[in-house]
Amino acid sequence: MTTEKKAPAWKIATLAYQHPNIKRSIWQIINSVGGLILLFSVMLLSLRISYWLTLALAIPAAGFMVRTFIIFHDCCHGSFFKSPQANRLVGYITGILTFTPYEEWKHNHSIHHATNGDLDRRGVGDVMTLTVDEYRALRPIKKLGYLLIRHPLIMFTIGPSFVFLLSHRVWSKNSSKRERNSVIITNLLVTGIVLALGFSIGWRDYLMVHAPIIIFGTTVGVWMFYVQHNYEGTYWTRHETWDFATAGLKGSSFYKLPKVLQWFTGNIGYHHIHHLNPRIPNYNLEACYQSSDIFQSVKPLTIRSSLKSLHLRLWDEPSKKMVSLAAIKRRPPETTPVA
């Protein structure tokens, strides 16, 4: 007699929340994409009053851009609508609005979900993270390059704009035809929209309005992605001891934000739940969190505590934690792999 294997408790706790609600999805499109377009228009008008006002309005506009990206993100997971066709259509549209090719990003992000916290499968869809010994084995020029990429002054200033405006314009070497086509289609439509706006409202006005939205929005987006997996107490291990549920609960943060920031970031702070079940629409994540002690047992990151992650650069395998450069200088070197 065979017995069926019971699903883990965390999976059972998420199942009721993985069904999208068409009315809530459509309303989120209206208040997110609509909010972005409305504020863009208001910012254009504000140029006649004061550019300081324009810059002030760029902050909430950037929030709507982040919220639009969350819709894109949900569509990539097939969680925003029941219909794959609807997810794909809205995913393409919101991807164009946030300069991100749908199929290409969807593929890389799926790999990120499947490999989060696995030291032997790093490198796709994640923030580059080396172990202490890997870093020590690098040549000086490569050490410098790694430190520049991971430095806050690069990662959260020019880095985000580089990723969204330039890096997303090309496909990776292993991309399929569908993924390459998504990059081409997105590039053509983004170029068309930018040219249309630039020639219709004037390039000066266009850049003065759209540039700060892009800079603020992409910086917030990269920060949110960074802090979701790079923090004190995160999880990395070798493949033979890697566990999906542990990577979700321990290797993905619960970023507890004030309600207004939680709204603008589309509840993505409940990232530990999202990694356990990415089929949950963003608007169901908080209710899922409230439903089970499993998710509430994860220690939250606050804005204040999350700032400590800024100095973390490397994963230290012996101590199983993220460390700063100052910390590794205090530890004697061990046998290092060949660079």
Here the tokens at position 113 are: 């979900």
pTM summary value: 0.93
Instruction: Please tell me the least confidently modeled range out of 1-15, 243-257, 307-321, 324-338.
Output: 324-338
DSSP 299: P
Which run of H or of E encompasses 306?
A: helix 303-306
Residues 119, 187: Cα–Cα separation, whole Å: 33
214 has which bridge partners?
none
Q: Which domain holds residue 17?
A: 9-118+152-304
Residues 337, 339: Cα–Cα separation, whole Å: 6
Q: How confident is the model at residue 3 (pLDDT cuts 50, 70, 90)?
A: low
In the chain, the percentage of residues whose pLDDT exceeds 90 is 91
- Say if 265 falls within a structural domain: yes
- Say if 37 falls within a structural domain: yes
Model pLDDT, residue 338? 41
**46-55, Cβ contacts within 8 angstroms, sequence gap of 24 or more:** 47/205, 47/208, 47/209, 51/208, 54/208, 54/209, 54/212, 55/212
- Say if 66 falls within a structural domain: yes
Q: In whole angstroms, how far apart are CA 140 and each of 143, 145, 330?
A: 5, 9, 19
- Say if 3 falls within a structural domain: no
Flag whether pLDDT at 199 surpasses 60.
yes
Give me the number of domains the chain comprises.
1
- Say if 140 falls within a structural domain: no
- Say if 139 falls within a structural domain: no
- Say if 209 falls within a structural domain: yes
Give the pLDDT confidence of 283-336 residue by residue, as tens digits: 999 999 999 999 999 999 999 999 999 999 999 999 999 999 887 776 666 544
Give the pLDDT confidence of 159-195 residue by residue, as tens digits: 999 999 999 999 998 999 999 999 999 999 999 999 9
> Looking at this protein, which amino acid is placed at residue 68?
T
- Say if 297 falls within a structural domain: yes
